[in-house]
Amino acid sequence: MIELNEFIKIINECENRLPLLTLDEFFSENKAEDSIAPNQCGFGRPLLAEICDTFKKVEVMPNVAWVRVALHDDTGIVEHNGKKVLELFGDSIIVCTSLRKRDLEEIINCEWLCSDGAEEINVFDLDDWFSCRPLVPEGFCCFEIVWD
């Protein structure tokens, strides 16, 4: 997961906009199964490790520029036993691709993910809410993989 100090640095430098996290920054060592799609957790949604593996396979496809996790605004720093801890909550997964919506949904298997599917998102809307967005190559667009 992203380190607490790195997260704080990004927030301070980016006008309090949450960063779009890489798959490793969100999933690596993340044991909180309800940190993404909590309403489907325990109701058929795959484990975090399986979700990560799926999107890592997508990320290396030639028609995919990048994959990021968009954080929910419940993400924050809390105190546990006198120590500050970063609690990450993912809202959606953003895929920058030249694939069509239907093809992307099939490749990632939205049904298996218990996802409501892919929604095209305006890249400039991403910039209003998030920081750390990679460039979008010409001919590519961004889809948000959403859960209710």
Domain boundaries, the chain: 4-146
Looking at residue 35, the DSSP 8-state letter turns out to be G
CB within 8 Å of 75: residues ≥ 6 apart: 18, 86, 87, 88, 89
Q: Are 38 and 23 in contact (CB under 8 A)?
A: no
Q: Are 85 and 77 in contact (CB under 8 A)?
A: yes
What is the phi/psi pair of residue 93, to 5°?
-120, 130
User: Per residue of the chain (148 residues), what is the pLDDT tens digit?
Assistant: 999 999 999 999 998 899 999 999 999 999 999 999 999 988 999 999 999 999 999 999 999 999 999 999 999 999 989 999 999 999 999 999 999 999 999 999 999 999 999 999 999 999 999 999 999 999 999 999 999 7
Q: Are 34 and 27 in contact (CB under 8 A)?
A: no
pTM of the model: 0.95
Distance of CA 137 to the CA centre of its chain: 19
Residue 96 pairs in a beta bridge with 66, 142
- Indicate the helix (H) or strand (E) that contains 111: helix 110-113
Cα–Cα distance for residue pair 50/65, rounded to 1 Å: 21
Structure tokens at 102: 């239907």
